[in-house]
Structure 1
């Protein structure tokens, strides 16, 4: 049986001094973890990646999937005592839809024409076309439901923990919400989250007992950790993946042959064995994982081929070094991955200059700004969500600045198609377009590798995010006696 009490201490990588409670700004793990501790969404993905109720107890759609009604749970209050209403949900969803919104979730909501309250308990979402994935969109980590009478960055929600203090990029502390609506959880009395972007420092915090849990464990340290009798590895096979996007809208990567040279110069097998130590699976320059039901299994696996890389590089006409940026902030082992790629590319006559950037500010100052850099992506419940977020024309997080007319056309058609086989065929074609024309290298899919002391009980693996889908603080308990 779960044991109550104690303060769960977490040392987490993926934070910055620019962090904010405003859900339109969430871009890394620290704020995602904090968000799931203090707030909820209408829906959520369970441990199998299936969309299930959260603040919405049920939902239904018209036969053409253009109008959706989400019925809210009754008796749910925000931390300040204000009852949850449909107006709060409408306001929260519209935060991401505004003309000036910079939210990455904006791209997921482009088909939404209206969001309105129907009484106090029903939220109605109207679309310009059918979308079978709308409940999954409402589970996106940006879509937190907040009180409409407070600023978006107030840090007040309906979640399992109530804010005590928050210092961006440094620390978060919260106490158990005694009025939490979801059963008996959470089990711990309080949670303290420290931002520790350096992987070595996180490891030291765990082994010294300063932290009960850490994320982003570097795979090369697993053998060391397994020898520690007080430590457990918390592994989750996942749809998460690493990327190396190349900006397609300007030189040098607007050249298709140069992009192909980079793709053939990447040794995916070596990255899987040397960087991930086997804790993952091969990528094929598409964000759809092999275990996803929409995966295109007919597409040939791209392999390391220095000769083909050299052919395309010569054809591109490029000369001189190419810069690739990396940082510990990207993912555990990102610096080693960049150095390994440099060695792989050199065998094809391609010179890579590895630029190591500081962790703080990597996501605000480097990602989306420089022509090529290492990035991690959490999994998404459906292909449409990752394609709309990171590959569609005009998407805020289109990290390769890629624009393919056929892809964009198929994206809209597939979204409205309710027949699985027809939809899968369209997604297969889209994966081929991303693989052959896109500017993003997807070398591997990584398992989530967290670690905890043996006192941590009740950890549940999750395919989409680390720390039990960002809900570890709510789900685990401590047995320290």
Structure 2
């Protein structure tokens, strides 16, 4: 029987979803106008520093404007997940390598079959003083699994038999699965799995168990959270955290350099390079944290022909893409998700560019002059530049790939079914979870390539049903070899994840999106 136990640990948690769809908030023009006029004090009032900390830490994120809410289970954007981390807590979280570490859980263990999981909770309190109980956890997971909620983590709980699951005591619950899954704890740390009090349906004034409690929030406006002194891991250092909505990257950088905010989220490689020589900023870079890829739909022409698919994969110079599109701040990809993470199949040979072999495959397929649209967007700072480079590279093998820019507001929902090729990105997640949620035949969203393989499904199911860690890793590696050859996921690189802070900010470190330390502000200090 596998068992996990831990003692209470200091600050940490989870968040960040892979798919980000920035919508309208404060534009660069609107921001600069605000901070240069009389509205500046209302938008970003002056900072008040105190000994060993700050009265109010200001953090700048892209937001969704008037569509925002504080429901942690419907949290599509990074800012939603960062605010959820401040207000709420999770049963478990992800370490830097995406292994699972405890939060509200004190311990957990499965039965021999991998279908029954017993979770024991630590002593923790909600903001109203009530204890976080097993009933709260079971209610939260039922709510997430309910399609009516529209929860971002719904698929992670699709195999839970809630009729058979039960509360054993105030601090212990049992979750029953319809199929064995020894990777199930990774579901408890997924973005959007925060625990809310049982019966909660209204999130206008939410009660959580996170390090901060709500002070003020209006969709599209700055949101302020005050320190919760009763947090189980100890009091946060800042008395308050303010989330400032600034969608434009250059406006976030300007706000940081002018001293209007202490932290600017999601900074591209070019901006990070410029800031590295500026004494007014420090850049925190998490190496190769985000997969940069092109999804080629393998159920549609021309990529339903494996020879055309392989030709395009061989026609790409991944190193050149990293050098040009990522300004050298990243690593080469090998058409697999999760480089450097636990369970990544690092022994799969690196796919290299071979123009002659690509041309030969196209000739054998009768597709010497194949053409397709390459969908892209400004939703990611690297997509459009990468599309230009890819188009030039594929021209060398006789393929015409025409970049087409699509609106950022609807981009990721649009590419689910539109077109045959589209840029995509995914931040760090457990490899087994990514394979199950994005590449198995039952994956309902995020499978941009429409890949289906019975052999892959069988290997994946065997892997997660295997209690032995080394054997599970071997099976997952075999599944990844199939994905490498057939899935249509052209992973050309892994970009660094950059945030910028002012020099006086301490207590923060570089961390990958979705990891325990990412966008976690309770340990921040302003010296």
Moved more, 163-172 or 446-455: 163-172
TM-score if structure 1 supplies the norm length?
0.89
1:58 corresponding residue in structure 2: 107
2:323 corresponding residue in structure 1: 273
Return 5+ residue gaps in structure 2 as ranges: 1-49
2:273 corresponding residue in structure 1: 223
1:410-425 to 2 correspondences below 5 Å: 410-425=459-474
The alignment partner of 2:59 has SS state of strand
Q: 1:26 to 1:311 in 2, by over 3 A?
A: farther
Q: How far did 1:91 drift?
A: 1.4
Separation of aligned partners in 2, 1:170 and 1:262: 45
Do residues 385 (structure 1) and 433 (structure 2) align? Answer: yes
Contact conserved, 1:15 with 1:29, CA < 8 A, in 2? no
Q: How far did 1:274 drift?
A: 2.1
Q: How far did 1:388 drift?
A: 1.2
1:159-198 to 2 correspondences below 5 Å: 159-168=210-219, 171-184=222-235, 186-198=236-248
Deviations 1:8-53 (A, max 9, x none): 2222246465444444433331222122111111011234544222
Contact conserved, 1:21 with 1:152, CA < 8 A, in 2? no
Moved more, 412-421 or 357-366: 357-366
Q: 1:360 to 1:110 in 2, by over 3 A?
A: closer
Contact conserved, 1:379 with 1:463, CA < 8 A, in 2? yes
Q: How far did 1:140 drift?
A: 0.9
Separation of aligned partners in 2, 1:321 and 1:195: 41
Do residues 68 (structure 1) and 122 (structure 2) align? Answer: no
Separation of aligned partners in 2, 1:65 and 1:467: 25
Do residues 111 (structure 1) and 155 (structure 2) align? Answer: no
1:95 corresponding residue in structure 2: 143
Separation of aligned partners in 1, 2:426 and 2:51: 32
2:478 corresponding residue in structure 1: 429
Contact conserved, 1:306 with 1:345, CA < 8 A, in 2? no
Q: 1:73 to 1:297 in 2, by over 3 A?
A: closer
The alignment partner of 1:354 has SS state of strand
Separation of aligned partners in 1, 2:415 and 2:51: 43
Q: 1:36 to 1:10 in 2, by over 3 A?
A: same
Separation of aligned partners in 2, 1:221 and 1:53: 35
Q: 1:418 to 1:279 in 2, by over 3 A?
A: farther
Deviations 1:82-102 (A, max 9, x none): 432211111111223235565
Separation of aligned partners in 2, 1:29 and 1:226: 24
2:39 corresponding residue in structure 1: none
2:458 corresponding residue in structure 1: 409
1:23-38 to 2 correspondences below 5 Å: 23-38=72-87
State which of 88, 93, 97 in structure 2 corresponds to 1:44.
93
Moved more, 172-181 or 407-416: 172-181
Separation of aligned partners in 1, 2:404 and 2:280: 37
Contact conserved, 1:198 with 1:328, CA < 8 A, in 2? no
Separation of aligned partners in 2, 1:344 and 1:68: 50
2:8 corresponding residue in structure 1: none
State which of 372, 377, 383 in structure 2 corresponds to 1:334.
383
2:196 corresponding residue in structure 1: 146
Do residues 283 (structure 1) and 333 (structure 2) align? Answer: yes
Q: How far did 1:374 drift?
A: 2.0
Return 5+ residue gaps in structure 1 as ranges: none
Q: How far did 1:433 drift?
A: 0.9
1:262 corresponding residue in structure 2: 312
Q: How far did 1:61 drift?
A: 2.3
Q: Computing the radius of gyration over CA atoms, which structure comes out larger, 1 or 2?
A: 2
Separation of aligned partners in 1, 2:507 and 2:63: 24
Q: How far did 1:54 drift?
A: 0.8
Contact conserved, 1:187 with 1:477, CA < 8 A, in 2? yes
Do residues 323 (structure 1) and 373 (structure 2) align? Answer: yes
Contact conserved, 2:286 with 2:512, CA < 8 A, in 1? yes
2:43 corresponding residue in structure 1: none
Deviations 1:164-196 (A, max 9, x none): 344445543322223322212x21122222333
Q: How far did 1:269 drift?
A: 0.4
State which of 455, 464, 474 in structure 1 corresponds to 2:504.
455
Do residues 343 (structure 1) and 392 (structure 2) align? Answer: yes
2:250 corresponding residue in structure 1: 200
